[in-house]
Amino acid sequence: MRRALKPTETILSALMPTTDLIAEGEGFHTPSLVDFFPPAILFEGTPFEFTRVNMIQVLMTVAIATLFILAFRRPQVVPRGLQNIGELAVNFVQTYVIDSIMGEKGRRYLPYLVTLFFFILALNLAGIVPGLNLAGTSVVAVPAMLAVISWLVFNIAGIRKHGFGQYMKVNLFPPGVPIPVYILLTPIEFLSTFILRPITLTIRLLANMMAGHLMLVLFFAGAHYLLLEADWILRPLGLGAAAMGLGVTAFEILISVLQAYIFTLLTALYIAGAESESH
């Protein structure tokens, strides 16, 4: 049976990615990949198995969708309240992603790119939300799904613009290259454009969010152990670990925004490149 938590333990348990580390006598637990594969909450052993990660993904999806629904359910000519926030959010993606990369012609992709950016951002920020403490993008399924969707979007955009044959030609056989060079260049272009892009999009997002979670677990679990369980001589080090944990939390917020921006920016770049007349 677990003892009642002290106030200090309650604060640490809210900040840490898992409250199992609070149990008395368990000592210091290093972070591991087990954190990303929690036991099932519902439907265990079935294709519809529902875990804590899935719960986080659903909660953050509902939260960001609710924010935009409330912001734009009764739009006013002069925005106020949540509408201001919603318009600032949309204008950010329009200005710093679409207009800077694709120009005004790219605004037809605004709904997709806004959805992509804020969906990724919401799932990323779940990693620093007390009680959730795990990014919804820190398991491979979501980054891979988003990467495949972006891959489909930019390829469909290119095929619609050029036609299938011309699209493949401009990607695999760039003009102005000596014919013998195509023997080496064409396989590289095929691998780069049609195989590696979704893989690199997936790995970049997944690796950053996994690393952030592991760092948070490491510092806050270390702080808990040093402050509450270690010998008295080591306890001052716990303050340093807790400070580092707070610093990593702030850094994780920055990384969450940056990774959502990079994923969306690269998607816009791929769409613009697919529709471009020259490659």
pLDDT in tens, the chain (279 residues): 444 444 444 444 444 454 444 444 456 667 777 778 888 888 888 888 898 899 999 999 999 999 999 988 887 777 778 888 889 999 999 999 999 998 888 899 999 999 999 999 999 999 888 888 889 999 999 999 999 999 999 999 999 999 999 999 888 888 888 888 888 889 998 999 899 999 999 999 999 999 888 888 888 888 877 777 767 777 788 788 888 888 989 999 999 999 999 999 999 999 999 988 765
Contacts of 133 (CB under 8 A, 6+ apart): 15, 16, 17, 18, 126, 127, 213, 216
Q: How far apart are CA 144 and CA 156, in angstroms?
A: 18
Residue 236's pLDDT is 80
Residues 6+ apart with CB under 8 A from 13: 5, 19, 21, 22, 224
3-state helix, strand, coil in the chain (%, to 5): 75, 0, 25
Both structure tokens of 174: 């760039």
pTM of the model: 0.85
**CB burial of residue 66 (10 Å; 0-12, 13-18, 19+):** exposed
* Nearest-angstrom CA–CA distance, 150 and 121: 16
Burial pattern 118-127, b for ≥16 Cβ within 10 A else e, equals bbbbbbbbbb
- Could you tell me the two tokens for 148? 């495949």
What pLDDT is recorded for position 64?
Answer: 94
